[in-house]
Chain A
Amino acid sequence: MAKSTPVKKAWRSLSWLGAIVIALVAINTAAVLWGGGSWTPKLALDLEGGTQIILAPKLETGQTVTDEQLTQAVSIIRQRVDASGVSEAEISTQGGSNIVVAIPGELDEETKNRIQSSAKLELRPVLLAGAPSDSSVGGDASASPTPSPTESLRATPTVSPTNGSDTNWITPALQAEYDSFDCSSDEAATTNAAPADVPLVTCDTTGTVKYLLGPVEVDGADIKDATNGQETNQQGASTGRWVVNLTFNDQGTKDFGEVSQRLYGLTATPPLNQFAFVIDGQVLSAPTMNGVITDGKPSISGSFDQESSKALADQLKFGALPISFTVQSSETITATLGSSQLLSGLIAGLIGLLLVFGYSLFQYRLLGTVTIVSLLVAGVITYLTLCILSWYQGYRLSLAGVAGVIVAIGFTADSFIVYFERVRDELRDGRVLGSAVEAGWKRALRTVYASKATNLLAAIVLFVIAVGSVKGFAVTLGITTVIDVIIVVLFTHPMLQLLAQTRFFSSGHPLSGLDPSALGAVYRGRAEFRTSAQLTAAKAASSSREAAKRQTIAERKAAEAAALDASGGSKPAKSAASAPSASGDISKNGKES
């Protein structure tokens, strides 16, 4: 049955929509029950307030912070905060040396660490490694027992070292410093910084191994990208360990390749075949070089979990802060806009929505209810999506976001308007409702896809490139655009397909909004058209050509048949439309064609 196909399709689409809504409700219910989700979207700083954190730079005496360093730090911190979710944090400077970070909600340890540590990455070759006690396990190291560092020991190499792994770097002074180095002492916390071109004595982050490291071979500035992921073994299976995968730029790839080749050649003399990833002066991991890495894509392992590996990847990706900061104070702050503002906005938005409903009904009669219900369904899905994103992505709804959602009403309604107008155009061309809906849909869908694609493109590009509140805007735009397309495809069109089957709509009731006579259907027997229309002959001819051209073959045949056996003024109507039309100006005889 030709007629049942659209009905079947319509129900199938509606079932899909139902499934989507149920899935969203289920996800959010699960989030509320087990994941700390909520049935209301979280609000941004401007509507809910949050925590204001003042970061003071860690400076040594006499050192000052330049404006440039501060601006750079603000920019890096912003990217790091953004990377943890779309929270629309506000970051600025204060008094020429401090950085103020305002985030919605409370400051947790992870966020604190994320924003305050410098994350300066250095790759240094390992010269000596050992337990923090005085028993060193250096291959070439001529361990001299129990010397305490004294000024008299020689501090410059006698033979100038040829490369970073050259043991000539180990001067007696360094050896002494290394031997006496105690990871747990205060000394370890403060002295583990050395210029890039000289060796460094330090410990790993857990304080269980101490290292004497060569000069910096590659540093964090050459990192192009950093991601976190699970380590895979040679068979490609996941080992379950979290690692940070680095991608170096060309310079970094070249440098790293050279180091890799050299260290791989030193396999026989451990620990010289090890290299250390040093973050903020502490060794994060010091793997052995098991092969020559020339693609510039090493990965850092360590005692990571998913969160900490993500945090480090984000820090490395956006570069090191020019200076480290400490949290000086952290206080709660109230919303910059009062809750009364939000309420006013919502009331005004609601009134606006009612006006839209009124206008839709006025313009499209009963068809307007399809618009209204579609908007309501879109509203429900948008709301659920925002709740889920708040929970999953840290999305925060700001006032600008609320305005964005309200504007989306216009965008969404426009899809319906485009569609309805296309259906009306098809009716004007003389199609019966069922086929007008299908034909109008085909044309409208193309337009809807093309135009929504521009919106989606804007959303994606701004999300990827922009920072701060613009990113939040991009998310709102993207969500509403996708939901808009879902609604028009899975709700509005199926509803219209179903309504087209009802007598009320298919008979073109004047209140249906799809009354062919009101729409002045162009073609209902060309003879009548020519005589009655007050058009120029040329225009009439062109119009009927237009109408004729738009017909399907079946319609043309039906039309010819109708023109033959009816004395003009009747049009092929399908059986559903066989009842006498409420609009009395044309007699629709309802023939079976």
Chain B
Amino acid sequence: MASRLTTFGNDLYTGKRSFDFVAKRKLWFIIVGALVLISILIPVVRGGFNLGIEFRGGSQFQITGVSDAETQPATDAVASVVPDAVAHVTIVGGGSGVRVQTDQLTTAETKDVATALEDAYDVTEADVSSSFIGPVWGADITRQTIQGLLVFLLLAAVGMALYFRTWKMSLAAIVALLVDLVITSGVYAASGFEVTPAAIIGLLTILAYSLYDTVVVFDKIRENTQEDVVETKRTFAESVNLAVNQTLVRSINTSVIAALPVASILFIGAFALGADTLRDISLALLIGILVGTWSTVFLAAPLYSMLREGEKNVKKHDAKVRSIRERTAADAAPAEEITV
């Protein structure tokens, strides 16, 4: 009658079933560390990111005097000279001209492409002009974006510290956020997709999502650990772990629901329907949503617990819990091991 996930949720809620997110943190940290390392190494090994024309600038060809222009001949012409170049073709002036933008070409390639374009559109040499174009995503955009991010992270860290009444949650959340960004970028680098402004926007979305998800789980942790002040049935680490387990069904549901539309765009839109410009942003988003959700569970929460466990009050509380527990266990024979 009850769906399996509901029963699962019940057990997680009561603590009947529990995953050791906090206790086994060393294992998770090692896995996360390895993933981060790989994510950093991939772009290094592959020789950096495959930045698009929008970031580096490139070559531009302008063809005039065309009658009823189409984009396909230009794409083919560029591919015939430089097979791996990305060509952005735009019709200019209501069909009388074509604008072709490609990665930066050598002088010889430029000449060949110009000739190929002449043939493709059946125009004379004078109708094809080539020039260099600067990046659309200039250094100023990057600078302003990074500035914005730093201000945001600072304000978010201060805001979380005030809301949760501890800066350690801010620290754990920001660490998880950075890990999300590094891993998402790493997977993106591994895919070899061209980095476009859309992909950067995707990465920014992930940034917002990652922090959002962490706040949701941390709010439950806050609730549970607040109870600890008056209750003595759980150690601090156990309270954190219980909170993560209690929100686990939410984490599963949210990551599935958030990932479904994005995965649909990536697989149906980009691969089946052939909208390849959609794949940059949807890949960044899909990876980011999954990593963002699970880094909260496996990294942010255990890290927070680790940061707090050394505190005097927390230590005192934990010791009290343990001594009470020993007494209770002695009462309720046979004593059983308590696994949380």
Cβ of A563 under 8 Å from chain B: no
A363 to B, closest residue via Cβ: B253
- Cβ contact of B216, chosen from A70, A407, A414, A467, cutoff 8 A: A414
How far in angstroms is the closest Cβ of chain A from B112?
20
The answer to whether B145 and A466 touch across the interface, beta carbons within 8 angstroms, is yes
- Of A168-176, A288-296, A298-306, A343-351, the one contacting chain B is A343-351
- Cβ contact of A348, chosen from B14, B147, B160, B269, cutoff 8 A: B269
Which of A459, A466, A473 is packed against the most chain B CB atoms within 10 Å? A466
CA distance A90 to B159 in the complex (A): 34
Which residues of A are interface residues toward B (Cβ below 8 A)?
49, 52, 70-71, 74-75, 78, 90-96, 100, 331-338, 340-341, 344-345, 347-349, 351-353, 355-356, 359-360, 362-363, 399-400, 403-404, 406-407, 409-411, 413-414, 417-418, 421, 424-425, 428, 443, 446-447, 450-455, 457-459, 461-462, 464-470, 473, 477, 510, 515, 517-520, 522, 533, 535-539, 541-543, 545-546, 549, 583
Q: Which positions 13-30 of chain B face chain A at CB distance < 8 Å?
A: 13-16
The answer to whether B281 and A352 touch across the interface, beta carbons within 8 angstroms, is no
The answer to whether A421 and B249 touch across the interface, beta carbons within 8 angstroms, is yes
The answer to whether B91 and A94 touch across the interface, beta carbons within 8 angstroms, is no
Which of B91, B197, B285 is packed against the most chain A CB atoms within 10 Å? B197
The 5 A-B residue pairs with the shortest CB-CB distance in the complex, in nearest-first order: A410-B258, A352-B261, A352-B264, A348-B269, A518-B2
- Of B93-101, B180-188, B297-305, B308-316, the one contacting chain A is B93-101
Q: Which positions 191-249 of chain B face chain A at CB distance < 8 Å?
A: 197-198, 200-202, 204-205, 207-209, 211-213, 215-216, 219-220, 223, 227, 231, 233-234, 246-247, 249
Cβ of B332 under 8 Å from chain A: yes
Q: Which positions 151-169 of chain B face chain A at CB distance < 8 Å?
A: 151-152, 155-156, 159-160, 163
Which of A52, A362, A399, A549 is packed against the most chain B CB atoms within 10 Å? A399
The answer to whether A462 and B148 touch across the interface, beta carbons within 8 angstroms, is yes
The answer to whether A457 and B254 touch across the interface, beta carbons within 8 angstroms, is no
The answer to whether B282 and A470 touch across the interface, beta carbons within 8 angstroms, is no
- Cβ contact of A409, chosen from B13, B258, B263, B270, cutoff 8 A: B258
Q: Classify the interface of chain A: helix, strand, loop or mixed.
A: helix
A-B contact pairs, 23 of them (CB 8 A): A92-B133, A93-B134, A94-B131, A94-B133, A95-B131, A348-B270, A348-B275, A355-B264, A403-B202, A403-B265, A407-B258, A410-B209, A413-B258, A451-B216, A454-B159, A468-B144, A469-B141, A470-B148, A520-B11, A537-B332, A539-B15, A539-B16, A542-B234
The answer to whether B137 and A468 touch across the interface, beta carbons within 8 angstroms, is yes
Which of B139, B209, B285 is packed against the most chain A CB atoms within 10 Å? B209
- Cβ contact of B281, chosen from A347, A403, A424, cutoff 8 A: A403
- Cβ contact of A351, chosen from B211, B219, B268, cutoff 8 A: B268
Cβ of B320 under 8 Å from chain A: no
How far in angstroms is the closest Cβ of chain B from A467?
5
CA distance A454 to B151 in the complex (A): 13
The answer to whether B250 and A520 touch across the interface, beta carbons within 8 angstroms, is no
CA distance A522 to B9 in the complex (A): 13
The answer to whether B13 and A425 touch across the interface, beta carbons within 8 angstroms, is yes
CA distance A93 to B101 in the complex (A): 13
How far in angstroms is the closest Cβ of chain B from A586?
12
- Cβ contact of B198, chosen from A348, A400, A428, A468, cutoff 8 A: A400
A429 to B, closest residue via Cβ: B13
The answer to whether A92 and B201 touch across the interface, beta carbons within 8 angstroms, is no
Q: A78-B140, A93-B57, A94-B132 are in contact. List 18 more A-B contacts (CB 8 A).
A: A75-B140, A78-B138, A90-B136, A95-B132, A335-B90, A344-B273, A348-B275, A355-B264, A356-B261, A403-B205, A406-B262, A410-B261, A451-B215, A457-B159, A458-B211, A461-B148, A467-B145, A468-B137
Cβ of B33 under 8 Å from chain A: no
Cβ of B51 under 8 Å from chain A: no
The answer to whether A94 and B134 touch across the interface, beta carbons within 8 angstroms, is yes
CA distance A122 to B99 in the complex (A): 40
Residues in B with CB closer than 8 Å to A542 are 15, 233-234
A458 to B, closest residue via Cβ: B208
Residues in B with CB closer than 8 Å to A452 are 212
The answer to whether A331 and B92 touch across the interface, beta carbons within 8 angstroms, is yes
The answer to whether B88 and A522 touch across the interface, beta carbons within 8 angstroms, is no
Given A75-B138, A413-B258, A96:B132 Cβ within 8 A: yes
CA distance A331 to B64 in the complex (A): 12
The answer to whether A344 and B275 touch across the interface, beta carbons within 8 angstroms, is yes
B274 to A, closest residue via Cβ: A344
How far in angstroms is the closest Cβ of chain A from B154?
9
B16 to A, closest residue via Cβ: A535
The answer to whether A404 and B133 touch across the interface, beta carbons within 8 angstroms, is no
Residues in A with CB closer than 8 Å to B71 are 334, 338
A550 to B, closest residue via Cβ: B227
Q: Which positions 279-332 of chain B face chain A at CB distance < 8 Å?
A: 281-282, 285, 289, 325, 328-329, 332
- Cβ contact of B253, chosen from A334, A399, A417, A462, cutoff 8 A: A417
- Cβ contact of B278, chosen from A78, A341, A461, A467, cutoff 8 A: A341
- Cβ contact of A421, chosen from B99, B231, B250, cutoff 8 A: B250
The answer to whether B204 and A470 touch across the interface, beta carbons within 8 angstroms, is yes
The answer to whether B156 and A348 touch across the interface, beta carbons within 8 angstroms, is no
Cβ of B1 under 8 Å from chain A: yes
The answer to whether B208 and A477 touch across the interface, beta carbons within 8 angstroms, is yes
Residues in B with CB closer than 8 Å to A447 are 215-216, 219-220
- Cβ contact of A92, chosen from B134, B270, B328, cutoff 8 A: B134
The answer to whether B207 and A458 touch across the interface, beta carbons within 8 angstroms, is yes
CA distance A518 to B262 in the complex (A): 32
How far in angstroms is the closest Cβ of chain B from A555?
18
Given A93-B133, A95-B131, A451-B212, A71:B140 Cβ within 8 A: yes
- Cβ contact of A353, chosen from B3, B135, B152, B261, cutoff 8 A: B261
Which of A71, A454, A468 is packed against the most chain B CB atoms within 10 Å? A454
